[in-house]
Amino acid sequence: MSRSIHLNSMLAEMREAAEELTQQARHRADEIVRVRAEGEDAERLTAQKRRAGDWGADWRTLQGRIDLNQTSAEDIYNGLDHSPEARAVRRAIGQGLAMTRAAMLARHEAEAAVDPFTRDIATIEVSGYDVALVYREELLCEIQSEIDRRG
């Protein structure tokens, strides 16, 4: 009889654990749905602003092409769209990155004047940023060369 009680107790614990896992899975699934919906809302809002010209004439044109499935934001950002508008957008992004880099460097230099240890960290941060930009540019050049070669 005590063996039966022990088995029933174990089964009850297992059911409780299974229910808890099920609730956790439901919670995670709900969270995934919520995050995806937020992302989709942000994408829709961005597309609306581009269509309205809030992001400039180049993005208005590009968004029209995105809507027609002639290009994608990923292709624009990654250099696979070679249209004049996409090139202009990438150039503007590059200028924004350069300004961000300069601002980061200026901030770190100002902090380094107060704390020499900060200067070393700034050098590492900015160097890593530079390496990533150089690598990206080299990769884009290789891709463009391959596209040109295949003609």
Judge whether residue 131 has pLDDT over 70: no
Residue 35 belongs to some domain of the structure: yes
Q: What angle do CA 113, 96, 56 make, to 5 degrees?
A: 150
Smallest Cα–Cα separation from 80: which of 71, 67, 89, 92? Answer: 71
Residue 123 belongs to some domain of the structure: no
Count of domains observed in the chain: 1
Smallest Cα–Cα separation from 105: which of 90, 123, 117? Answer: 123
User: Which range, of 52-56, 70-74, 141-145, averages the lowest pLDDT?
Assistant: 141-145
The pLDDT value given to residue 65: 98
Residue 5 belongs to some domain of the structure: yes
If pLDDT is split at 50, 70 and 90, which confidence band does 119 have? low
Range of the domain at 22: 1-49
Residue 80 belongs to some domain of the structure: no
Task: Judge whether 66 and 47 are in contact, CB under 8 Å.
Answer: yes
Task: Judge whether 119 and 144 are in contact, CB under 8 Å.
Answer: no
What is the tens place of the pLDDT at every residue in 10-60? 888 888 888 888 888 888 888 888 888 888 888 999 999 999 999 999 999
Task: Judge whether 124 and 132 are in contact, CB under 8 Å.
Answer: no
Residue 31 belongs to some domain of the structure: yes
Smallest Cα–Cα separation from 86: which of 114, 65, 116, 117? Answer: 65
Q: What angle do CA 146, 148, 151 make, to 5 degrees?
A: 110
What is the tens place of the pLDDT at every residue in 95-116? 888 888 888 878 777 776 666 5
The pLDDT value given to residue 75: 95
Residue 97 belongs to some domain of the structure: no
The pTM of the full predicted model, rounded to 2 decimals, is: 0.54
